[in-house]
Amino acid sequence: MLTVFGSVAIDTIRTPFKVIRNALGGAATYAAISASFFHRPGLIAVVGHDFPKKYQNVLDKFVDTKGVVHANGQTFRYDGSYDKTLSSRRTNKTELNVLKDFKPIVPEGYRKSEFVYLANNDPAQNTKIIKEFDRVKFSMCDTIDFWISTKKNDVIKMMGVVDSVVINDEEARLLTKTHNLIKAAKRIMEWGTRFVIIKKGEHGSLLFYDDVVFPSPAFSLENIVDPTGAGDSFAGGMIGYLADKNNAKTSTIREAVTYGNVMGSFAVEKYGTAGLVRLSKSQIQNRFKYYKKMVQF
């Protein structure tokens, strides 16, 4: 089984071309929906009483929502604006709401999950929750600059209790105070994780393990409309694929990273979660095959 833990949000996303308000968002939402094309995940998250029924229906369609708590209060809300190149995002407003006092509980049925993805959360909470799973074959966490700046020691501790860290290039640099990404990944591996995946947006990703680097270019796209959730869709696709294969061999992980790239490429082609929710498995397979041919020489 696969469990995804993290935020479900209501997003306002402002791009130079379009503004979408009150859209279904959140790191765990993207990751779990992306993963679901490979292996239906259980989702641990919290939403408020204002969480629209239609979004609950979306979650129900793609994931097991036994772990989604409906709390008293407003759903976590995020408002962000992209610059005209869509490559940098400014946060306008973050309202934690029900996320603030959420004490996540792992449903009994989820405890036997062999695959666990800890999306961006308070690192201390992530470190605590991973211990509630007792048959983990492969766990993975993400983090963002906010936690690196405010709880760096907890971030480092968290990275020591998972099998894999997935992180943006700029955040890896911020965290390790190292510009070179190989050096940055080695530093992160010193903290205890075996795999590091550095996401580089339009430049793809770098997977590190042992003394190996596996670079994979992004699927090249001419029309990117909304990068929101691309990294989460990457991580979700990756761990979903691993859960489906039910192993964490390095050869499987290399394929999983490639599926991660593919899922990220679908996510950015439409606004919000629209790039994922209308996908079919055959579209994913076709793009994977196309990608494989694309990079050959």
**6/204 with CB nearer its own copies:** 204
**96/213 with CB nearer its own copies:** 213
Q: Which of 54, 84, 103, 177 binds its own copies (CB under 8 A)?
A: 84
32 binding its own copies? (CB under 8 A): no
Q: What is the distance between the alpha carbons of residues 95 and 153, in angstroms, rounded to a whole number?
A: 25
Q: What is the distance between the alpha carbons of residues 197 and 215, in angstroms, rounded to a whole number?
A: 10
| Amino acid, res. 247 | N
170 binding its own copies? (CB under 8 A): no
- Total residues binding its own copies (CB under 8 A): 37
| Amino acid, res. 130 | I
CA angle 210, 240, 80 (to 5 degrees): 95
Residue 61: exposed, middle, or buried by beta-carbon count in 10 A (0-12, 13-18, 19+)? exposed
**16/52 with CB nearer its own copies:** 16
Q: Which of 126, 193, 258, 273 binds its own copies (CB under 8 A)?
A: 258
**186/270 with CB nearer its own copies:** 186
Shortest spacing between CB 291 and its own copies, in angstroms: 9
Shortest spacing between CB 77 and its own copies, in angstroms: 29
**208/271 with CB nearer its own copies:** 208
Q: Which of 15, 34, 216, 233 binds its own copies (CB under 8 A)?
A: 216
Alpha-carbon dihedral angle through residues 25, 169, 226, 220, given to the nearest 10 degrees: -130
Sheet with strand 164-168: strands edge to edge: 68-70, 42-47, 2-5, 115-118, 138-141, 164-168, 195-199, 205-209, 212-216
Shortest spacing between CB 194 and its own copies, in angstroms: 18
Shortest spacing between CB 212 and its own copies, in angstroms: 8
Q: Which of 13, 27, 28, 218 binds its own copies (CB under 8 A)?
A: 218
289 binding its own copies? (CB under 8 A): no
Instruction: Name residue, tokens 């699927």.
Output: 219
Catalogue the E-assigned strands of the chain.
2-5, 9-14, 19-25, 42-47, 68-70, 77-82, 89-95, 115-118, 138-141, 164-168, 195-199, 205-209, 212-216
Shortest spacing between CB 247 and its own copies, in angstroms: 15
44 binding its own copies? (CB under 8 A): no
- Interacting residues toward its own copies by CB under 8 A: 84-87, 179-183, 186, 200, 202-204, 206, 212-218, 220-224, 251, 254-255, 257-258, 292, 294-297
